[in-house]
């Protein structure tokens, strides 16, 4: 199912904006995930240099994508897109264990942001197709996700490259955006 099909499922009122914010560290697989959702070719993805901001609008929906390079000084600019976010999707490279602490810090800071309070969060434990990938349960424990009490959340194993697990995560998004909008 492509992104437009998912967005049509989300749409509960004419011209209603559903804002999905997709964040994560560089090389987590955000661009691949986005292209997978949009049913675009994923065979030629290059690392983002610096940062890329992409807003896609279609049929009353808005998907904001921040693809940020290694520069930590750029990450505070993510805040520009926090306003009126309906769902936060945070992508983690499950095979890059050396960066688990850094990605955990970024996720914690995001969850502490006032403009994102109570926003449901889906954490994609990406790159599960790699032998070195940590399972989602190990990542959840390492990041102390069980301590999140102010919002609904889900960690979903996936491979943006193969598409495995992506639909399950997006089904969760559909269910929780609908619940939030009521």
Report the SS3 class of residue 94: coil
Q: Is 98 annotated as a binding residue?
A: no
The answer on whether 144 is annotated among ligand-binding residues is: no
**Residue 108 annotated as binding?**
no
Query: Is residue 176 a known part of a binding site?
Result: no
**Number of neighbours of residue 57 by Cβ within 10 angstroms:** 10
Residue 132 assigned as binding residue: no
- Does 171 belong to an annotated binding site? no
* Identified catalytic residue from 16, 49, 57, 71: 71
Asked whether residue 28 is marked as a ligand-binding residue, the answer is: yes
Is 48 annotated as belonging to a binding site? yes
Residue 71 annotated to the active site:
yes
**C-alpha 88 chain-centroid distance:** 6
Contact 48, 68 (CB under 8 A): yes
The CA distance from 121 to 150, in Å, is 11
Reading the block at residue 162, the tokens are: 């193969």
C-beta separation of 30 from 64 below 8 A: no
Q: Which residues pair with 125 in a beta bridge?
A: 92, 157
The catalytic site residues sit at: 71
Binding residues for Mg(2+): 31, 48
Binding residues: 24-31, 48, 126-129
Binding residues for GTP: 24-31, 126-129
């Amino acid at each position: 199912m492509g992104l437009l099909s998912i967005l049509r499922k989300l749409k509960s009122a004419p011209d209603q904006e559903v804002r999905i914010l997709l964040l994560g560290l560089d090389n987590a697989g955000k661009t691949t995930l986005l292209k997978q959702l949009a049913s675009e070719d994923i065979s030629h993805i290059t690392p983002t240099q610096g940062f890329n901001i992409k807003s896609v609008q279609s049929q009353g929906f808005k998907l904001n994508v921040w693809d940020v390079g290694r520069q930590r000084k750029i990450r505070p600019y993510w805040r520009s897109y926090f306003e009126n976010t309906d769902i936060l999707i945070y992508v983690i490279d499950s095979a890059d264990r050396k960066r688990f602490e850094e990605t955990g810090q970024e996720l914690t800071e995001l969850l502490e942001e006032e403009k994102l309070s109570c926003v449901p969060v889906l954490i994609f434990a990406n790159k599960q197709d790699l032998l070195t990938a940590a399972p989602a349960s190990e990542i959840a424990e390492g990041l102390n996700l069980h301590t999140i009490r102010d919002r609904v959340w889900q960690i979903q194993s996936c491979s943006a490259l193969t598409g495995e697990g992506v639909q399950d995560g997006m089904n969760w998004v559909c269910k929780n955006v609908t619940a939030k909008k009521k």
